[in-house]
Chain A
Amino acid sequence: MTVVIETRNLSRYYGNVLGLSDVSLDIESGITGLLGPNGAGKSTFMKLVTGQMKPNIGTVTIGGRRVWNNFPLFSRVGFCPEQDSFYEDVTGWEFLTGLLSFYGYSDAEVKHRAARALGIVELAQDKDRKIRSYSRGMRQRVKFAQAIAHDPDIIILDEPLSGLDPLGKRRLIRLIKGYQSEGRTILVSSHVLPEIEAMTSRIILIHQGKILAQGDIHYIRDLIEKHPHMISVKCDDPRDAAAEFVRDEGILRMSFGTDGRTLVVETHKRDDFFSRLQAVILEKGMTVDEISSPDDNLQAVFDYLVGK
């Protein structure tokens, strides 16, 4: 496949603070997920790719052309920013037609494209309401609409699913996957692994401004699977429950909470443990008040991967 976005030794600093360090990537057509915890450098990377920021070191090119101050290139790029910011005093329709007018279309074409984009994100009925009055989910959708309204070859989406309800997320994921089948290049960021996983199997892991790993989701999954998970089970008899798990192969360590009702399990095989837990609950008639996973977040996994 052809490389669409290419970065070489890309580095960016905010004063003395490192934003991105020595990032060299080749991004091809299809969906690429940029996964990392908050503050990892995802937005910095996307701002560099969309020409909003200038690299301190290194280069970023789209189709072999440099990005910074190369505004003709942006007719090929659609960008959905992370921030929830708009010209609040305009309607969704005015927002879209206004931004589409920047592409030099005729009035009829602007209206056609705005209507189509609002239809795609299911905002056609609310197009004449001021953006100020939109819900968070609607704002997220109109933001997505402005990124796709001009049919860009390259779509860059910075945390597009944040603020959406589960149904909204599912719809948007379906939409994004639909664009992939049309041969476009889509770069989408998130700090939630299952969200990225639902869209693509091609993932770039970013943490503290550096690329930790890139490749197929299964490779990343394997890396994450190696990281021991902590699971806390609050039940009526934690010691009795512990006796059930103590012989299980995947269990690394067990401890009890000071409240006398909590069992904390450390395991390599999270999915196996949950299956066993379910069986034990049913078998023993255990009363379970709460199951939580204190380190089941991307930050913990990343900390593990970088050897913290």
Chain B
Amino acid sequence: MTPQVQPNAASFGTSFRQVFAFFFFLSRRTGKARVFALLGLIPVALAVVVRMVMPGRAEDVAAVFSQILMVFFLTFYIVIISLFYGTSICAEELEGRTLTYLVTRPLSKAGIFLGKYAAYVALMVLMTAASLGLSFFLMNGQRFRDPGLYLAFLRDAGVLGLGIVVYTALFAFLGTFLRRAILVGLFFGFGWENVIQYFPGSTQKFSVVHYLKSLLPHWSSGGGTLAILLFRLEPTEPAAAVLTLTVLTALFLVLGAWLFRTKEYLFEE
């Protein structure tokens, strides 16, 4: 069995691409993907109910419910899926004892960590976009000719996508060094992130959701149809919000990749 083609030691970029392809394929097969896809059907079902119960009420109802759906997506759906996928980047390899198959290959450890992160983010963005798209256009069915509708959808989808990118980076970072990262993540995602919004002044800037909401005009304007849900948001400038979210993502990913490279992971006996 003489080798015909010598294997190549992958660079970071190659490691990243190969790990991304493998885990993007693998992640679609899991029960977790099915559960979160089903969860994503909740807003779709709600949109169907609203359209059936109030068929005559057009734009005002649609606007209100679209924003309620955004509350669901922004403060629950993207947080929970990012939490479960982000923390599992390391944890599932340790619990399943499959990390061996990755770290004994000619792959850079940073490439493994970031490739898996990117694969999970891609999957989550697709699931969220499908759920948001279906519910959004069901709710706004009467405005198909309005170009503003499509712009609003792209903006909402973009903010949710950015949210997934940031939250997953944070939870992936936690997962590299905490055995029970999911508990810490639950506390952060559903405790800290929600409570801190009620605080006036700059305190609320210590949450990710603050910057995401700052990118949504109907919230950051301080009024609108859902002012009651704004919790006295004192928005950050959109450019500064995007910059902050980008810096946070980069920071968490660099720290996570560095920890994954240097830390030694042992399976529990």
Contacts and interface: CB of A to CB of B under 8 A. Distances in A.
Contacts of A83: 97, 100, 267
B7 interface: yes
A181 to B, nearest CB: 10
Interface stretch (A100-108, A133-141, A205-213, A262-270): A100-108
Interface in B99-131: 100-109
Nearest to A182: B1
A37 to B, nearest CB: 16
A183 to B, nearest CB: 10
A79 B104 contact: yes
Interface string B3-26: 111111110001100110110011
Interface residues of A, number: 36
A163 interface: no
Nearest to A88: B96
Interface in B1-53: 1-10, 14-15, 18-19, 21-22, 25-26, 29-30
Contacts of B15: 102
Nearest to A97: B22
A79 B99 CA distance: 12
B7 A90 contact: no
Contacts of B100: 52, 79, 81, 83, 85
B107 A71 contact: yes
B227 to A, nearest CB: 46
Interface of B: 1-10, 14-15, 18-19, 21-22, 25-26, 29-30, 96-98, 100-109, 261-262, 264, 266-267
Interface string A47-72: 00011111000000000000001011
Interface string A94-118: 1000110111110001000000000
B5 to A, nearest CB: 5
A160 to B, nearest CB: 14
B104 A104 contact: no
A146 interface: yes
5 contacts: A52-B100, A69-B261, A71-B109, A85-B97, A104-B10
B26 A101 contact: no
Interface residue SS majority, chain B: loop
Given A83-B100, A103-B8, 5 more contacts: A79-B100, A81-B100, A104-B8, A109-B4, A151-B2
A172 interface: no
A71 B267 contact: no
A74 interface: yes
Of B4, B19, B103, B266, most buried by chain A (CB within 10 Å of CB) is B103
Contacts of A87: 26, 96, 98, 101
Interface string A172-205: 0000000100100000000000000000000000
A74 B98 contact: no
Contacts of B4: 109
B267 A151 contact: no
B29 A71 contact: no
Given A71-B109, A72-B9, A104-B14, A98 B26 contact: yes
A77 interface: yes
A103 B4 CA distance: 13
Contact of A74 (B18, B21, B22, B105): B105
Contacts of B107: 71, 74, 102
A302 to B, nearest CB: 21
B97 A74 contact: no
Contact of A89 (B1, B29, B97, B106): B29
B16 to A, nearest CB: 11
A150 interface: yes
Contact of A77 (B1, B14, B104, B264): B104
A107 to B, nearest CB: 11
Contacts of A293: none
A224 to B, nearest CB: 29
A274 interface: no
